[in-house]
Amino acid sequence: MAKRETNWLVSAPIVAAAYGFVVWDRLKTDPAAFQGFGFHPEAIEQMPAGLRWHLLGAVAAILLGALQMVRRKGGAAHRVLGAVWAVLMIVMSLAAMIGSPTVGVLQILAVVVILLTARAVWLAHRHDVVGHKHQMQMLFFAALLGVGLFTAVPGRATWKLFFSGSGAGVAAPAAAAP
C-alpha cells in the first residue's frame, strides 16, 4: 500500500472522531441545536454579508476544486480554472477575516490559506508539478473540506444551514397535555 493511501486511512478516522467529539460536546450544552437534517435557506438570510460571500466562495471552490481533481491536468482549461479557484480561495479567506468581529483560529487559518494559495500558484509558475499538485490537494482537502467540516458545529452558521436553521419549517415538539 502506498504511503499516501496509508496517510488517508489513518487521518480520516482521526478527523471523523475529532469532529464527532466536538459535535457531541457542543450538543451536550445545547441539545436543541439539532432539529433534524435539511437545508435551511433562512439561515443564509440571517448571515452578515461577509459571511454570505465566504459561504458562496467556499461552495464554488469545493465544486470547482472537485472538478479540477478529475479533469486532465496541464492544459489551458486547467490553468484558467485553477486561476479562478485561487481567486475564490483568496476571496473566501478575505471574507472570513472581514466577516468576523474577532480574531480567532479560523481567521488565522484564512491568512495561512492565502499564503499557501500564493505558494501553490508560484509552484505552478516554476513548473514544479509535484509540489503544485501536493499544495493544491492539501488546500482542497485540509483547508476546504477539513476546516469546513469543523465550521459545521452547533452554534455556527454552517450548522444552522443544515441542521437547525431558524426553526422555521421544523416541526415543533408537541406541547405537554395539561
Q: Percent of the chain at pLDDT above 70?
A: 87
Nearest to 56 by CA among 114, 106, 101, 96: 96
- Evaluate if residue 176 carries a pLDDT over 60: no
User: Which residues, at least 6 apart from 9, have a Cβ–Cβ distance to it below 8 Å?
Assistant: 1
Query: What does the DSSP assignment read for 86-146?
Result: HHHHHHHHHHHHHT-SS--HHHHHHHHHHHHHHHHHHHHHTT-HHHHHHHHHHIIIIIIII
- The answer to whether 53 and 91 have CB atoms below 8 angstroms apart is yes
Higher pLDDT: 175 or 155? It is 155
| Residue 164 identity (one-letter amino acid) | S
pLDDT on residue 130: 93
pLDDT on residue 18: 84
Question: Which tens digits make up the pLDDT trace of 109-150?
Answer: 889 999 999 999 999 999 999 999 999 998 998 888 888 888
| Residue 61 identity (one-letter amino acid) | A
pLDDT on residue 20: 84
Cα Rg of the chain, angstroms: 19
Q: Which three cell numbers stand for residue 170?
A: 421544523
pTM: 0.75
Whole-angstrom distance, CA of residue 124 vs CA of residue 128: 6
Report residue 98's pLDDT band, with 50, 70 and 90 as the boundaries. confident
Report residue 40's pLDDT band, with 50, 70 and 90 as the boundaries. confident
Whole-angstrom distance, CA of residue 31 vs CA of residue 98: 30
